Structure 1
Amino acid sequence: MSDILTLSQIKVPGTARSKDEAIREAGQLLVDAGAVSPAYVDAMFEREKSVSTYMGNSLAIPHGTNEAKDAILRSALSVVRYDQPIDWDGNEVRFAVGVAGVENGHLEILGKIAIVFSDSDEVDKLLAAGSAEEVYRLLHDVNE
């Protein structure tokens, strides 16, 4: 099985300035990685319409709807860190973590990300990371 997070799926800094741009940016990294078809990005917007994917601690986890599972080719994550906070329905987001999971694999992936982002010290390290390589090293455990 291939890693769910690779260096090419991390963007530091992101270029988005709005929630919609951030969803598209995180989704496009998943498309570029061959993990999802472009239809999955549309499903990420559908999910956001029904429930905000803002999680707290500067984190949003945009992901597709259950109906979009056919658009997932393999489980993967994308991570985009923003130098300036993105307004996510009135909340400040510095990380958009795109998630795609085959056969409910997204639940395990979400759990691993939640553990990292529930620790303020870990979030501070991710915010201070100077490169995508450094972010990758800090998040590499999600591949375990």
Structure 2
Amino acid sequence: MNIFTKDNIIMNQTFSDKEEAINAAGRILADRGYVQPEYIESMQKREKVISTYVGNKIAIPHGINGSESQIMESGISLLQVPQGVSFGKGKTAYIVIGIAGKNNTHMSILTQLSEIVCDVENVDKLIQAKDEQEILDIIGIK
């Protein structure tokens, strides 16, 4: 199973709050068979412990320690949120990337993602992308 495909991307989303955005990112992972539905709750718990907003208009929600048993395959989901969603004061995410890493691969996935999203130009391209293929081309993880 590929970690990141067109089916894992939802364009032009609007969310009333970060909980709704995290649920949507987690639902993609669950619906595509990467995680058990309970993993979404562990993503919400992680957000309560420490914000998954990483800066540069990006949030990367993922599960808490101990949620590894809920991950069936490593996967990434991506939500494009052109109007943004608040992850706290001064923390507006326009791209929400859900991750689940099987067998401790989440750090490797985070490292690959951070190299891409630390470049403001890449983030702006993700926000302005017109279709899923543009996003796949920028992220480059399969």
- Interval of TM-score (by shorter of Structure 1 and Structure 2): over 0.9
Paired position in structure 2 for 1:129: 129
For residues 50-129 of structure 1, the aligned pairs below 5 Å read: 50-90=49-89, 91-129=91-129
Distance 1:99 1:36 in 2: 10
Contact in 1 for aligned 2:17/2:85 (Cα 8 Å): yes
CA shift for structure 1 position 36: 0.2
CA shift for structure 1 position 133: 2.4
Paired position in structure 1 for 2:19: 20
Contact in 2 for aligned 1:16/1:25 (Cα 8 Å): no
CA shift for structure 1 position 77: 0.2
CA shift for structure 1 position 81: 0.7
Output the aligned Cα RMSD.
Answer: 0.9
Deviations 1:84-107 (A, max 9, x none): 010111111101100000111000
CA shift for structure 1 position 15: 3.3
> What percentage of aligned pairs have identical amino acids?
35
Instruction: List runs of 5+ in structure 2 lacking aligned partners.
Output: none
Distance 1:41 1:15 in 2: 19
Letter in 2 for 1:136: L
Identify the range of structure 1 (91-100 vs 12-21) with the bigger mean alpha-carbon deviation: 12-21
Contact in 1 for aligned 2:95/2:126 (Cα 8 Å): no
SS in 1 for 2:125: helix
SS in 1 for 2:33: coil
Contact in 1 for aligned 2:14/2:85 (Cα 8 Å): no
Contact in 2 for aligned 1:55/1:61 (Cα 8 Å): yes
How many residues of Structure 1 are paired with residues of Structure 2 in the alignment?
141
Letter in 1 for 2:102: V
Distance 2:14 2:32 in 1: 18
Contact in 2 for aligned 1:116/1:122 (Cα 8 Å): yes
TM-score of the pair, normalised by structure 1: 0.94
Distance 2:15 2:29 in 1: 16
Letter in 2 for 1:45: Q
Paired position in structure 2 for 1:47: 46
Distance 1:74 1:52 in 2: 24
SS in 1 for 2:141: helix
